[in-house]
Amino acid sequence: MPRTRFELALVGGATVSGLDNPNSKTQARAKFDEALEKTEATKVVTLLGEVDTGFVIWYRAKKYGQSVDEMLRMALENYEELLASASRKAPVIAISCPLPTIRDGQTWGEVANLRQEVDASQKLRTELTLQFNASVRAFARTLGCFSIDLDSDCLDDNGLVASRLLNRNPLDHHYSMPAYASLLAKRLAWLLSTGVGEHRPSASVTTAPVA
């Protein structure tokens, strides 16, 4: 995307489940708020990792004796509040959360080892991610934001993440960067080329087919 300049506000280890915690180790919300205050960007693009739906929601439900649905609701409320805040700065494009890649019974890799306390299957974690993404899309419509839905493009016939998106390094649970970038850039470039940011969008979601 050579005609687009990105200002990145990255917070490693941040989760939307802990976004409203003023004592969080990452201080993610404060960093995002600071970035939003300083930027002169004409669009705001948001992208989460899969740690909330792939681990944190399940872990918090077990730790605090709450239902997964309640932990999901809290995570969604935190993210929705961030999106609402960002939309007051510039039009927002929310990218769907990546699908879980850690297989059932996988014990190799640092992240897989750290997540062994959660026994939810990859299928259940994927279904929760799809539910999370659907809720974000619905909220985006009410807020007048745009969203990019990659779920159908990232799913295989077995209902799990497509093998073409898996990292070549079996110890790395992130998507393959070239495969994901290619998929995402097509959607993002289309949205940006439609004039998003020239005016506030109506309460609808605009997405583009992948060529």
Residue 84, in any domain of the structure: yes
At 102, which helix (H) or strand (E)? Answer: none
For each of the chain's 211 residues, which pLDDT tens digit applies?
878 889 999 998 899 999 999 889 999 999 999 999 999 998 999 999 999 999 999 999 999 999 999 999 999 999 999 999 999 999 999 999 999 999 888 876 777 677 888 889 999 999 999 999 999 999 999 999 999 999 999 999 999 999 999 999 988 999 999 999 999 998 898 888 765 544 343 333 333 333 2
For residue 173 the two structure tokens come to 């649970």
Assessment of whether the complete model's pTM goes beyond 0.85: yes
Query: What whole-number distance in Å separates Cα of residue 68 and Cα of residue 195?
Result: 39
210 in a structural domain: no
- Does residue 188 fall inside a structural domain? yes
Which amino acid, one-letter code, is at 86? A
Q: How many structural domains does the chain have?
A: 1
Token look-up 């929310």 returns: 94
Q: Single out the residue of 156, 16, 22 nearest to residue 164, CA to CA.
A: 156
Residue 22 makes CB contacts below 8 A (sequence gap 6+) with 29
Is the Cβ–Cβ distance between 33 and 47 less than 8 Å? Answer: no
Q: Give me the pLDDT at residue 196, please.
A: 54
- Per the structure, the complete domain to which residue 101 belongs is given by 28-193
